[in-house]
Chains A and B, each alone.
Chain A
Amino acid sequence: MAILVIAEHDNAALKGATLNTITAAQQIGDDIHLLVAGFNCQPAADAAAKVSGVSKVLQADNTAYEHQLAENLAKLVLELGRDYSHILAPATTTGKNFMPRVAALLDVAQISDITAVETGDSFQRPIYAGNAIATVKSLDAIKVITVRGTAFEAAELNGSAEISTVDSAEDLAISQFVSEEMAESDRPELTAAKVIISGGRGMGNGENFSMLEQVADKLGAAVGASRAAVDAGFVPNDMQVGQTGKIVAPELYIAVGISGAIQHLAGMKDSKVIVAINKDEEAPIFSVADYGLVADLFDVMPELQQKL
């Protein structure tokens, strides 16, 4: 049977996490349908048709799906999903929001946040904030799965799938979108960046993050933060990297003034290369860093910015 993947998108474009989820789906089977549910979402559907490995794009275009409200989206996926062996979505805040509703309505479990596919019904997923890895077997006929994007490569973009329209649309009208406030930045998004430079409590205050921003702009990097820096009010919480924030796995992660609490490590330890800059040589961050520099960040950052 075919696999249904729910695309993450903003109507205008496909979000990167969709491509990683397609790769996970390809490890399960080869007939993959990609659902783009949105409003005025033709550009996103067109982008979906180009994803390698997708055999068909299903487009549901209705105001009911404009803001990906969980109630409406779950109902649509429930109607479509009964004919599939697997239903996958990225484990983003959108996927995490609606997918468990789909599972409950199908009377099946959800296997959350998988990081590896072992067989068509067995999957690995981190538990206890990544301090243990569980291998879980689904006993259900339909497997509802969310996928940790950083654990899978992105699918390529040289496909040409047909797009078919899904007419079903119902606005349950029990929840309404009011507003949204997205962080504006010219830098890449944390979860999509190839290089990330993050600051911790050692930064001292929010103004000092400008030192990280200057280095970030030289490297084309995103700027992140530890929970300690967020809790101290230095920076907004959407910058938080860690188990309770963003899970990232860039090619280069530079941790500045971050001690390396377990909760932070769980969010970044799959990065390809980790650099730690901290004046405390006992800081746990050094135990996961490929390159450590024991020094005062207030000396290092200006020098780094100047020499890069």
Chain B
Amino acid sequence: MEWETVIGLEVHVQLATKTKIFSGASTAFGAEPNTQACAIDLAMPGTLPSPNAEAFRYAVMFGLAIDAEIGKRSVFERKNYFYPDLPKGYQTTQLAEPIVGAGHVDIQLEDGSEKRIRIHHAHLEEDAGKSLHDLSSSIASQGMSGIDLNRAGTPLIEIVTEPDIRNAEEAVAFARKLHSIVTSLGICDGEMSQGSMRFDVNISVRLKGEEEFGTRTETKNLNSFKFMEKCIHQEVERQIDVLEDGGTITQETRLYDGETHTARAMRSKEEANDYRYFPCPDLLPVILTDDYIEDLRQSLPELPDARKQRFQQDYGLSSYDAGVLGSDAATAHYFESCATAASDAKLAANWVMGEISARLNAEEISISHAKVSAEQLAGLISRIKDQTISNKIAKQVFEAMWAGEGDADSIIDTKGLKQVSDSGAIEKLVDDVIANNPQQVENYRKADDAKRPKMLGFFVGQIMKASKGQANPQQVNKVLLDKLNA
């Protein structure tokens, strides 16, 4: 039997506003519990919501970026359910009249092909607070959970796709592209580990050629591309196993555990979701003018696709390199600053995609937290270009820079890593090696032209070793050839 997977995503993107969607409390991450929850966020009696203009601006920017119809009239509704991290007992969200209508996002797959993922709509809503359960403190020992409402009221856009995604690769490509769009727009900080982007994945399988969709499950709150990929693979496999064993899929909500990398059905019974939506009577319809929307369209920052093209044209980068470096605004900015300061795009691209990216991955941090700044990296690249150091030494210098030992010049200085280009010194090194290896010299001189380059490597290696890697390799080559051929 051949199975086909059908995936739809709901993506929650936290907007990078200074304040909550309905209150003037700060949204800064990492504050002490409940120190950023004001009377409105706590749903104190008599308090009323006051919508944030910036949240609307960001949502419209997103809509324009995905070529969507903008809801010139949008209406907040109440979605009613009880949960301790939902202070009002309802979430203020949008349903019938969302801010962003149908649009699309184009993704590129590994084989180079493009695919269009349709966006059903995107709406503005408020985030909930957090329930902290696995505390080692006395709270847990009392059989209690702690509620922190700092996050309650943080503005979100929930982006809902059509069921256009067919496998994990597409899902991840889509998620990355979305990350790239929202960070390029500057409407989200993109910090996945802080929950700035969370994915709910709806998955079903059906026999190839079947028209009807299979029963789907929803796995909630995935906050990394890696988890999402793993979760999809597991869930697809699970569903196929069930179906091939003659079973049926139960429509359920599942939770993915990032520690064990397994998902399970939620224990809290989802009693027939009856959210009793109705228009929020504390808020009025929001009307956006054509001028407002046009102004935003005109001032939209550069989007990933446009940037990729520009990087190919302006910096002569390959399609792949341009795509990687242009994917998110922070990386693009880092690369461009470095390339400009070093006046060498190719070297800058290699270093950003090479050493920098490796380091970031290893330490699981984003480029905005890189321990070597774009300017510092440019300083290092400049020393490679002017042959003060070799590429090999440069890597050594980079390690020291990353470890916080200073910028390239001071490290080269204090460690005495400067390349030896003094011809007298190099001649001396070459002479010594020739004198110490008479047999190899004889062999070389007898050998034919085809074998000589390889044999030359031996001498170069000896010389570089003797110079502790600091001899200028081009100069060594030239002097060595002159002497051997003499």
Q: Do A and B make up one complex?
A: no
B residues adjacent to A (C-beta < 8 A)? none
